[in-house]
Amino acid sequence: MTTNNALNITSSGIVNYNGTGSFSAITVTQYNTLVGGTSNSISNIATGNSGQVLTSNGNAANPSYQTLPSSSISITGNTGGALTGTSFTFTGGTTGLTFSGSGTTETLTGTLAAANGGTGVANSSTITIGGNVIFSGASTFTGTLTGDTSVTFPTSGTLATTSQLSSFSPNSVLQLFDDFASIYSISSYYSVGQLFWYNAGNYAWITDTTNSSKAHPGVITNPAMTANTLVLFFDIGNQALAKQIYLGGGITSVSWVFYITNLSNGTNTYTLSCGLSDTSSIVGSATNAVGFTYGSALNSGNWQCGTASANTRTNSNTSTAVTSGTWYNANITINAAGNSAVFTLNGVTLATIVTNIPTTGLSPYFYIDWIAGTIAAGSISVDLFYMTQNLTAR
């Protein structure tokens, strides 16, 4: 059909030509949205409500103004399930921490409470911890520093207060020690060390020039022995023991430091014993004693710890072998009540004995008993004796 371009349209609105010779008027409503319709027509889309947006309804329907569905996010913690919504409030709860927001940023500030793993204190300095720190018990731990402080802690043991530190108080603590730096002889009488030890037996102790050193000053040792004994004990005259040490009046600690160069064996055989005794003999034959004993024919050559009270004995056979070329610190600690004796060797506990602990007067002693063969000179060396006793019964 031929199109007649001379138009005489009286309707208002938009003139729509369908391309086949027909013109029509489309009424337009203010603020509506126009969209394409069928056969080149134009349709009106209503404005909708404030806040709505033009939303597609697919490729076979006109779009329409619709309200946006609520958008939300989900936050999931370690416990308590997920939080879902469009807005959230963060709070520190009982942790001592607070959140402060500005723009798109939330800032966490405050001091973490001690109950939640913090210090509970606003620290102005750096705290550096390397390794584990463990506190046990219900007691309060308080540290007060008055200035820059550097403290190195020991790897083990118990920290003491100043009131617990030992001090020179002869009326409450008996303190004895001897480094055996001298040997005195007159006629056939020998005295050793500053505590005037009697050199009992058939031999005399001699100065040890081999094992004396900056670490072990004042060392004495045995001469060659082919018979009898060699003993150190406190003397009160006439070669009698000064039995002046009584257990049970306070904690008592007795230590002997010595060195074994040659072990006892089946050919050259001896017995060594040290501790406290009322006779110049080993624990195994003393009437009253507490001490260490070693012999190749005794307990398979391992250390034996023992007590004796009125000739009744308790022995503890340890599995600790005696070795040559070793410095030993043999300690016996008897509790204040005098009913428990703990035997330690170089800081390692070998035995605890709670029976037949003597109650009579005792003397410190160090005893070497020849049994067979020749005990070579310098086989056993004694470096140090030291002893403390808290006189709580005074």
Is 96 among the domain residues? no
Which of 23, 47, 64 is at the close of a domain?
Answer: 64
Report the CATH number that the domain containing residue 184 is assigned in CATH. Answer: 2.60.120.560
Q: Which residues pair with 140 in a beta bridge?
A: none
DSSP string for 143-169? ---SS-------SSS----GGGS----
Q: pLDDT tens-digit profile of 221-242? A: 999 999 887 776 655 444 456 7
Instruction: Determine whether 51 is exposed, middle or buried from the number of CB atoms within 10 Å of its CB (0-12, 13-18, 19+).
Output: exposed
Question: Do residues 184 and 328 both lie within one domain?
Answer: yes
Give a yes or no: residue 73 inside a domain: no
pLDDT (tens digit per residue) in 313-337: 999 999 999 999 999 999 999 999 9
Task: Single out the residue in 64, 81, 103 at which a domain terminates.
Answer: 64
Whether 141 is in a domain gets the answer no
181 lies in the same domain as 301: yes
For 348, phi then psi, to 5°, come to: -105, 125
User: In angstroms, rounded to a whole number, what is the distance separating the alpha carbons of residues 127 and 310?
Assistant: 61
Mean pLDDT of the chain: 83
* In a domain? residue 316: yes
Strands (E), 179-325: 183-186, 189-192, 197-201, 206-207, 220-221, 229-234, 252-260, 269-277, 289-295, 302-309, 312-321
Q: Give every residue of the chain whose pLDDT is below 70, as ranges.
A: 1-12, 21, 80-81, 124-125, 130, 160-168, 185-190, 199-202, 232-241, 393
Alpha carbons 212 and 219: distance in angstroms, whole number: 5
Do 43 and 177 have their domain in common?
no
> 60 with 180, same domain?
no
Query: Would you state the pLDDT for residue 206?
Result: 87
pLDDT of residue 246: 94
Classify residue 40: in a domain, yes or no: yes
For residue 319, is it within any domain?
A: yes
For residue 341, the model assigns a pLDDT of 97
* Residue 90 maps to a domain: no
Given this model, what pLDDT does residue 229 score? 78
Number of domains in the chain: 2
**What is the pTM (predicted TM-score) of this model?**
0.60
Domain that holds residue 30: 14-64
Are residues 358 and 215 part of one domain?
A: yes
Same domain, 45 and 180: no
Q: What is the pLDDT of residue 6?
A: 53
The pLDDT score that the predictor gives to residue 209 is: 92
Distance CA 217, CA 208 (A): 10
For residue 344, what pLDDT is reported? 97
Last residue of a domain, one of 22, 47, 64: 64
**Can you tell me which residue has the tokens 């082919």?**
226
Instruction: Flag whether 296 is in a domain.
Output: yes
According to the model, what pLDDT value does residue 337 have? 93
